[in-house]
Amino acid sequence: MKIFGTLSSLWSSTDFDGDELTAYAQRLMGEETRHGVMLLSVVCFVLLASTALANIGLDLGELYVYTYAALAVLSLHMYFSAKTTRDVKAHHLLGMTLLVICGAAIVLLAHKTGEFNPLMYATIALLFMVVPAAPWGLREASLVIALVYFIFTVSTLGVASRFGGQTLWALQYFIVSCAAISLVLVVRNVAIRKQDIVIRFDLENVQRQLETLASRDPLTGAWNRRVLEPAFKTLMTRCATESLDSSFCVLDIDHFKRINDRNGHEFGDNVLDAVVQALHQILLPGESLVRMGGDEFVALLIDTDPRERLQQAMAHLRERADLKTNDGPISISGGFKRIAPNAGLRLEAVYQAADRALYVAKKARNSNKIVEHDVSMNALPDTAKGHEFPWRPR
């Protein structure tokens, strides 16, 4: 039973326990199957072309030369067909068709000449030996081997008197031996290939997890500053393609140092986490929230004026009874810069503009404001808050 279970697992090179791994294997094997059938075609071309030349040297007759030359040309045709095709089933069909036609041509040649000479035996062996060159599973390999065996067996046993019993028995032994060896190689290749797929799948998952961990703020779960530049480029590309306006917002928590000093750092951590939760609730698909460090955040929004949504986030914070302090509810201030589609603005310029607007918001009497950047704010110094290229990973 264990043997049958093992063979069942090798029946297909893309069937695994788990839909995600199966889908990954199907994507991976699509290209590998194409290259495998191309390799099989090249090997067949070289072998058949060499056999045609050998027939010329051995002076076996034009029929042998023309047959093997035609099969070599067919192999070359299959190579270019596989190269221009992307469908896995089509690749399997191309490889099977090539091998079956080669087998049928050799049988017809034997019927025409009335003999199986040593070159024919060699060609039969090579037909079975090239089967493992294509990365198909045990199912496809068994099918093509069965078809080739069927062609040889039925066509020769039907006219047993033409070849003689000894020749037919020798041919049967030769075909069965070659088929068995070929299947053993296929089984080994499929087992190694499936193990390799599992390892690659696990490694890529681990790599994605590590990349996510490296890009996430461990305290709040928001993206960290490493993500800002690629997220900005992605948003600008989407907005240019779909003719969408966007806003670049710089936000920070009002009086956060005083909150930490009076209520403790654990309370301050809870405030940071609550702010991130509140801001995440207003984000739409394709938008991003980045914690730049400390109590400062950047929100990339698809919006011309994000005031209403940011005020919704503030309302969420005010509803949190566990965040009440003697100084009143937690609040945030922000500055934002509108970005038109195809504006072509650099990240540095957009950040500095939104940062100047935040500076104005923080200087207001009650803070807790969202201010839009305007041209008059360009007179403020670039280091109004002491920030310079803060999105660069440190």
Q: Can you tell me whether residue 298 is helix, strand or coil? A: strand
What token pair was written down for 97?
């068709």
pLDDT digits 0-9 by tens, 8-35 = 677 787 778 878 888 888 888 888 899 9
Q: Are residues 178 and 253 in the same domain?
A: no
The answer on pLDDT for 347 being more than 90 is yes
Strands (E), the chain: 223-224, 246-253, 288-293, 296-301, 332-339, 370-372
Examine residue 48 and state whether it is found in any structural domain, yes or no. Answer: yes
Mean pLDDT of 283-299: 92
Structural domain total, the chain: 2
Q: Are residues 76 and 194 in the same domain?
A: yes
Edge-first strand listing for the sheet containing 332-339: 223-224, 288-293, 296-301, 246-253, 332-339, 370-372
Q: Is the dihedral of CA 178, 183, 185, 186 positive or negative?
A: positive
Provide the mean pLDDT of the chain: 84
Model pLDDT, residue 301: 94
Model pLDDT, residue 320: 79
Model pLDDT, residue 161: 55
Q: What is the DSSP letter of 210?
A: H
What token pair was written down for 68?
């093997």
Examine residue 66 and state whether it is found in any structural domain, yes or no. Answer: yes
Q: Are residues 197 and 239 in the same domain?
A: no
Q: Are residues 7 and 132 in the same domain?
A: yes
Q: Which residue has the tokens 């603005």?
A: 345
318 against 188, higher pLDDT: 188
Model pLDDT, residue 290: 95
Q: Are residues 200 and 248 in the same domain?
A: no
The answer on pLDDT for 230 being more than 70 is yes
Examine residue 386 and state whether it is found in any structural domain, yes or no. Answer: no
Q: Are residues 119 and 25 in the same domain?
A: yes
What token pair was written down for 8?
């069942």
Q: Are residues 196 and 240 in the same domain?
A: no
Q: Are residues 176 and 83 in the same domain?
A: yes
Burial of 20 (0-12, 13-18, 19+ CB in 10 A): exposed
Model pLDDT, residue 200: 92
CATH code at 256? 3.30.70.270
Can you give the residue range of the structural domain that contains 285?
223-379
Q: Is 117 left (phi over 0), alpha (psi -120 to 50) or beta?
A: beta
User: Could you give the CA distance from residue 3 to residue 88 in angstroms, rounded to a whole number?
Assistant: 28
All residues at 6 or more sequence positions from 105 whose CB lies less than 8 Å from its CB, including other chains: 67, 70, 71
Examine residue 141 and state whether it is found in any structural domain, yes or no. Answer: yes
Model pLDDT, residue 174: 83
pLDDT digits 0-9 by tens, 161-209 = 566 667 777 888 888 888 899 989 988 888 898 899 999 999 999 998 8
Mean pLDDT of 263-279: 90
Examine residue 391 and state whether it is found in any structural domain, yes or no. Answer: no
Examine residue 385 and state whether it is found in any structural domain, yes or no. Answer: no
Q: Are residues 189 and 239 in the same domain?
A: no
The answer on pLDDT for 108 being more than 90 is no
